[in-house]
Structure formats: structure tokens, C-alpha cells
Structure 1
């Protein structure tokens, strides 16, 4: 842009001079000058040319005089610039070598840069020395250099960063926290300082300080609006959880503020509903849960909504679950909520229908376990119960609160592994994504329903009848069979007994254990459709 302006100025100057000479040529005249008795006459054109020549000669002499006068300084400046360029070249080479891990070259370039540049005027020399010390494992020297940089206003942020990293490496968490907070207070726009300080304050439960720091980050445009609103909603929810027991009104207000910033934040809705329940305001509690349920159906929302009032009967809870289903139809969480409530209300047909519909939408472990519970409560058929339990083993695992590989039974604002804020997500754990691969064209639910064994009716309990016995202390003992056993079997010949005192039929002999299946209540003996009562002997 500057070159274009210079060329434009040159052309304008030429045009002005040409226009001036043309104007003088069109208006001829004579110029007379008497100088010391001499008369000098010339035309205006010649006079103008002489004046312009004199001005040019004066300017040329002035430039030459100025150049000669300032030449020593120019020479010194030339050599100084050359030295500075060589120093910066060495510094650049040293930083590249330090980044590549070449400590020898980094030290060599650092020494050369110190010889060509002044260390007090170029802070990058300290940075190069610190990086070289870290590569060589001289951490004490590196910390000293970082401390020196933190005392200079120009390199304070870089020095605090280095001290924070070193303190974290040594496990000095309190020192690292102080360095991060110092950097965050002076420069809230630094992402690493703000993040570290925010994590420390969240771990300590200092929610007000964390919220204030987050607001500073938002003003400094470190975070965009959506991310800042989400993180602030998480902090407000965590604060509301801590205040729920002692200050339910404050907990309610903070939870509602969190819901305004993040409308689908499930933990905030649960805290707000619990706070409303403590005020006996069940209508607002239900309304809050319903609004979040429409955006994000969650089993904890369903449980809090269905069991919001302790005095409700099972039928009342079923009606609430059906209301949730009406708000979010054809959803697996809605169907499971209705199925569980129907099972509790002993409405087995409805519970089974909703659970099977949920299985067709998504085959989960929780769905098949619920079907097993329904089967046990309604029919008690062990075969069908084992069938559903087997399907649960093969099905995909249920979602849970997961953060950095850690699975938790409840939501927490901070990850216990890394300390990251808003790390927990409701999803399937990464190591339990799916069960075995099902073959065939049918889905898992259809295949499970198609292979379900039929219901085996329960056998009526048989009450043994007492057998007829004739006992005489003096006479021989005679023991007869039961009437039903005698009708089904032919009379067997009596076995001889010593001294002829007793007569026992062959069917009354107790069979030995060996040679037949064990007496397992879960194993049916095919040779015995109806077990027969044995005749008991009473010997005197």
C-alpha cells in the first residue's frame, strides 16, 4: 500500500510541474533584475527553471551533509542490527532444538544468544534456559528460572505456568493450586489457570468462588455462551445439592436457576422437586419433573415422579406412570416406568405388555430382568424365569452415570478421576456396550419372545392319607397298603419273615437311593407321575 501511494505521489508531482510550465509557456513575459548596477533580463520560463534547479541543488547538498554527519551512528546501528539478527537466529534455533529434545544444541544456542543479546532485555533467553534444564532433568534450576520469570511483569504468566506444571509433577497440589489461582486472578483469560482453579474450587466445595471465576471467564470471552451456561448450571446444581438438607428454599432457587440455564439437566430437576416436596408443594414438584421429562426421559425422573407422595397406593403410582407415558409415548423409559408400576399393582397383563414393548424398542438387561420378575410374580414357572434371566445376560447393559471410565450410582458435578467439571454422562459404560451378537434376521426381543417356553401348570399338592394298620402287642403285626396304591398295582406275594411273626408286602419296601435320580425338588422323575406315599412301620 505504501509503494502504491509513493508512485501515485510521484505522478501527481510530475503532472503539477508539467501543468505549471505549460501555464507559463502560454503566458510569455520578461523578468528584469538590477543587481549591483547590472541589468539582468530573462523570460519567466528561464527564471522558473533556474529557481527549481537551485532548490534541487540545495536539497542534494543537504542530503549529503546529513549523511556525512550521521554516518557514525548509522554504522553503529548497522552493526548492532546485524548482531541482533544473529542473536535472534541463535535463539530461534535453540528454541526449536529444545522443542525437539536436543539439549546439547539448545545449550549451545543459548550461550550464543546470551553473547549476542542482553538477557535483561530479551526474556526468551530465560525460556530457552528453562526448557534446556527440563530436558536435562535439572528441575531445581528450571524452577529457579520460572520463579525469576514470574517476578517480571512481561513473563509472569509464563513463569507461573512453569511453576504450576512443576508443582503438579511433584504432587504438591497445594502449591499448584496457589500458582493457578494467582494466574487466574491476574489473567482470567488463561484457559489452563481458570480450568485448574475451577477444578480445585469444585473439589473443595467452594461453589460461590467457582461461579465467580466462571463469570470472569465468560466476561473475558474464554468460554462461549453455551458452554458457560452449562458449567454454571452444573455448579448451581452442586450448590443446591449441598443446601437441600439445611436450606431447602435456597436449594430450590439455585436448582431452578440451573434449569433456566440448562433445561435438560436431570439432577437439577430432581433437587428442585425434592425441595418443593419439603414445602408440601407437590403440584410444582410434579410440574418441574414433567418439563424435564419431556426433554430428557430418565429413570431417576420417573422414580421421583411416581413416588413423590409416600401415602399413594400402588394404583395411584400406576396412574402417575401412565401420565408420564402420555407425555413421552413410545419411549423405553416411559414403558418401563408403567411396567414396574403395574407389576407393583399386580396388573400382570399390563406389566407384561409394556415390558415386551420396551424390549422390542431396545433390548436391555433391565427389561429382561423386569420380565423375569413379572414371570415369578404371576406364574412362578422356573423355566420361563430362567429363560428371561438368560436373555438378560446376553442383552446390552443398562446406561449409568459414567465419567472418565468411572461408573457411579449417582450424578456428581466433578469427575473423581480427573476432577473435570460436568464430566458425568448418562450412557452405557464403554466396556459393557453390548452383549453377544445375535444371529438371524429377528431382533433380540422377537427371538426371546419366540423361544419363550410355555407355562407349566402347577401340580396340586397331595395330602397323604393314613394307611390302615392293625397293631396287637401279642399277635403278629400285619401292615396293609393304601387303597390307591392297591388299585394301581397287583398284589405282591408276601415275603417270608423269620419266626412267622410279621408279613410285609413287597411294595412296602423302601427303595434304596442308589440306582435312581436324587431327590432334587427341581428334577422330575419320569417314572413317577404322581409320587405314592410309603407305608410307615411302627415297631414296638
Structure 2
């Protein structure tokens, strides 16, 4: 609409000018080289306009002829670039779809048409990667490192290739250089942090976390948690040689993460060691309110070395009140009451935990109560030990499928910081508990006459079960025929040695064996000592 109005206005102005000139006639005379040309003003104006149009057309033709070679070259380059971009796009699609032949073909076409552009080098590197050509991929990434625009991207590719060939030193060098060139690059910061943790250089790791937090690469809550974990690791290292510095670090960790159990335990031990019992108790109680944990209970009950068993029982009841009688508090009270030989009080504390599938620790505590009161050979003692062998397992420190009784700052498999969590391990035996007998277990048992492959029914050996495998509702002996089974009376072993203890009693003692220090992968060969931790396969 506005264009139509402008056109009408211009047309009106032209008409007005023509009328104005027609109302004021005149002549224009041109004298040149002895010639005199005279004409009216209107014709002169028309002639000037026509001459301008002719000159403009002539100039356009001349300029087109002059610029024709350049235009031809430019058009060829545009067509070449268009084909190159098309090859680049198709190559990226081929890489994404996992077609190495098409990816390499389009990568060569893109390189031929576009030259050594960043995206062309990236496509060439990725095509070499999916084709298994590691040397070609590294050459492409090194060419990207030589260009300032793609240097960090090239370092990223070289880092990945170094990790694939397990060259940790080269991978660390590439990550460090990338972090120096681009401090906000997440992968480089993660790799540098992982390298510091692998070297147990907790101070350098702490600096890296602080730098990441200042750049906004991680949120404030995660940064505080990671600082607390690293401060706890530093305090644990200095606990023996520098107790004051270790105490300072542990207290800083508690301020950052009040529920961090290892920090609270460490602070409680260090403060109690120097005689500051009230501050030690506050540190442990603060963490206990957030996260009741057996390690906290152990530290709290032993803050004062000269306390009697009844004093420890009083402290356990204090913890129970602070956590509204959490299951961990009940177990702590039961253990303290057992030490004080107040068996009724111990049973009363555990009673709510016996209603629905008590855990192995609960069963073992009940077995210890029965053994202390009635002896190791009583029926109830053996019953509780047998139930402990089949009961759900208690929580333990787990990181990346590795279970350990002790907390560590990083995962032993991936090196991830703050990977250990306190949780119940997945069941690895795949059997459901049998109904509780009304009387103590005194009936003969059936055991295989020869050793069979499969899960250990007592749960004493690490067992590996593939993820997603069906779990049988009842325990089964794989490959065992009825003829292979024979009755074994109480007090006899599978080999017929009547002088040995009965299999149920042997299982009781084995179920309570300690496990060795350090995380152990599932399926590892047996050690000289009993394992302390196993790798769990969910």
C-alpha cells in the first residue's frame, strides 16, 4: 500500500513538473565547433534524460564485459562451495548413521571441494574414527590443532584417541593444554580433576574445583559437596602426622556438607583425641540427624575411652532419640545393650526390625544375643545364624558396582570424585527366603554329594549374575539330580566326617566372617584372607 502511494505521489510530481515547464516556454541553444543547435526547453530536457539512459546502458554493458572473467570464476567457486557443503552435510549424516564407506567418500569430496576448513577436518577425523583408522583420525586432529580456531577441538580429539590407546600421560597433557587455552571447557576440567584425584593430589584437585565453581561450570551445591569430599581426603591424609591441620580441614568439610559421614567421623575422632568431647559430640550428632550411619554410632559411643558399657548404652539411646529411633539407632542400642548384658533391652530395641525380612546384620545381632544368653549350640542361635545367611544384605559403600566397607574419595574404577554412596547392594544370589520354622532348625538337610557350579547358597563367595537375568523364586541346584543328594544329619559334613561341626553351625560362623580391606571386583580369585568387598552386578 505504501509503495502504491509513493508511486502515485511521484507520478503527480512528474505531471506537475511537465505542466509547469509547458506553462513557461523557452529555448535552449547549443553552440559547439561552429554549429548552433536550438530547441525548446521541454525537448532539451527529454533529450538529456534519453542521453543519460543511453549512457547508463552503455556503461553497464562495458562493465559486464570487463567483469565477465571474475564473474565466471566467482560462479564456479560458488558452485564448488555449494557442492562441498552438500558433501559435508551428507558426510555428517553418514557419520551419525554409522556408514564408514559413505562417510569417508563424502569426507574426501568435502576436502577436495572446500579445502582444509574446520568442519572438513572434523568430518575427516570422525570418518576415520568410525572406520577404525586411528592414525588417520590423529592426523586430522593434529591438523586441527595447528589452526587457532580449531585448536581446542583438535585437543579434544587427541585426548579421546589417547584414552582409547590407554596413554594416560598423553591424555593428561592434552587436557591440561585445553584447560589452559579455554578454561571454561568442561571436559578438560573434568579430566584435569580426575588426573589430580588419581595422583591423590587433593590440594590441586581442590584448586580445580574452586576454579570450576568460579567459572560457573558446576552449581554451588555440587561445588560445596566436592570441596567437602576433598577436604575430608586431605584431613584423612594428615590425621596421623598433622592432627591439628587435619581437624581444621575436617571441620571445614562439615560446614560445607553437614551430612558427610566420613568428615563427621574424622572430626569426632580428632576432637575427642585432643579432649574436646563436647565439640566432638556436636559434630557427630549434627551428621547423625541428617544421615544415621553405623560409623557415626561407633565414633559416638567411643568418644570417651574410659566409659563403661552402661555409659555407651546411654550414649546409644541418646542417638536413638535424636533420629526418632532410626533402624541404625536400634542396632546401635541393641549392640550396646548386648555389651552390657541387658538381653531383654537388646531384644526390645530390635523387635520392630524383625517384623518384615530383617537384614543380615539384624539377624547376626539377634544370634549374638541368643549366643551370649543361651550358648552357641542353642537352637535359636543356630536359627538366627541360618537366617542371616539368607537375609537381605545391609547397606554398604558402593561406587560403580564396587562395594567396600570403607569410604573413599574417588571411585576405584572410573576415578570419579564423590562416587561412593551408602546403599543396600543388589541381590546377587537370586533366592527368596524360606518360611521361618516354628522350632529351631534340627531337621536333616540335603546337600549335593559333589561340588556343583553355581551360586554359593550361604552367600560367602562373590557371585556374578548378568543384568536382567530372571531371579528364581526358590533356590535351585543347577545340574544336580536327585540321586546326587544324600541326607546329612546335624553334626556331620558332606564328606561324612562326624567329628566336624554340623553344616548349619559352620554356615553361622562363616556368615559372620569379616571382609578384607579395599574394593574387590566380583569374580576375582580367592585371596589368602576373606574378602572385604565385592563388585556387584545388578
TM-score normalised to structure 1 length: 0.70
Give the Å deviation of 1:255. 2.3
Give the Å deviation of 1:365. 0.8
Q: Is the 8 A contact 1:252 1:272 kept in 2?
A: yes
Q: 1:76: which partner in 2? A: 73
Query: Is 1:209 the equivalent of 2:204?
Result: yes
Change (3 A) 1:385 1:20: farther
Change (3 A) 1:72 1:453: same
Give the one of 86, 90, 96 matched to 1:89: 86
User: What is the distance in 2 between the residues matched to 1:179 and 1:521?
Assistant: 62
Q: Is the 8 A contact 2:28 2:41 kept in 1?
A: no
Give the Å deviation of 1:398. 0.8
- After superposition, the CA RMSD in angstroms is 3.8
Change (3 A) 1:32 1:355: same
Give the one of 341, 363, 382 matched to 1:386: 382
Give the Å deviation of 1:259. 2.5
Q: 1:224: which partner in 2? A: 219
Q: 2:255: which partner in 1? A: 260
Query: Is 1:418 the equivalent of 2:414?
Result: yes
Q: Is the 8 A contact 2:392 2:427 kept in 1?
A: no
Give the Å deviation of 1:254. 2.3
Query: Is 1:333 the equivalent of 2:328?
Result: yes
User: What is the distance in 2 between the residues matched to 1:316 and 1:202?
Assistant: 41
Deviation readout 1:286-314 (Å, 9 max, x if unpaired):
10111111111111111111111101111
User: What is the distance in 2 between the residues matched to 1:273 and 1:15?
Assistant: 92
SS at match of 1:94: helix
SS at match of 2:403: strand
Number of equivalenced pairs? 438
Give the one of 230, 234, 237 matched to 1:239: 234
SS at match of 1:430: coil
Q: 2:35: which partner in 1? A: none
Q: 1:324: which partner in 2? A: 319
SS at match of 2:397: strand
Give the Å deviation of 1:400. 0.5
User: What is the distance in 2 between the residues matched to 1:349 and 1:178?
Assistant: 64
Q: 1:368: which partner in 2? A: 363
Q: Is the 8 A contact 1:94 1:110 kept in 2?
A: yes
Change (3 A) 1:226 1:452: farther
Deviation readout 1:223-258 (Å, 9 max, x if unpaired):
233323222222222122112222223222322332
Give the one of 130, 149, 154 matched to 1:154: 149
- Counterparts of 1:69-218 in structure 2 under 5 Å? 70-119=67-116, 122-218=117-213
Give the Å deviation of 1:14. 4.4
User: What is the distance in 2 between the residues matched to 1:341 and 1:125?
Assistant: 71
Unaligned runs of 5+ in 2: 31-37, 442-497, 503-538
Give the one of 399, 402, 406 matched to 1:403: 399
Change (3 A) 1:12 1:428: farther
User: What is the distance in 1 between the residues matched to 2:45 and 2:226?
Assistant: 79
Deviation readout 1:59-118 (Å, 9 max, x if unpaired):
888777765654443332222111111122223333433454544433433333333222
Q: Is the 8 A contact 1:315 1:345 kept in 2?
A: yes
User: What is the distance in 2 between the residues matched to 1:77 and 1:379?
Assistant: 100
Give the Å deviation of 1:350. 0.9
Give the Å deviation of 1:160. 1.8
Give the Å deviation of 1:435. 6.0
Q: Is the 8 A contact 1:400 1:426 kept in 2?
A: yes
Change (3 A) 1:293 1:32: farther
- Counterparts of 1:260-339 in structure 2 under 5 Å? 260-339=255-334
Unaligned runs of 5+ in 1: 1-6, 440-446, 455-517, 523-540
User: What is the distance in 2 between the residues matched to 1:433 and 1:16?
Assistant: 93
Change (3 A) 1:84 1:313: same
User: What is the distance in 2 between the residues matched to 1:50 and 1:297?
Assistant: 103
Change (3 A) 1:281 1:96: same
Change (3 A) 1:81 1:336: same
Larger radius of gyration: 1
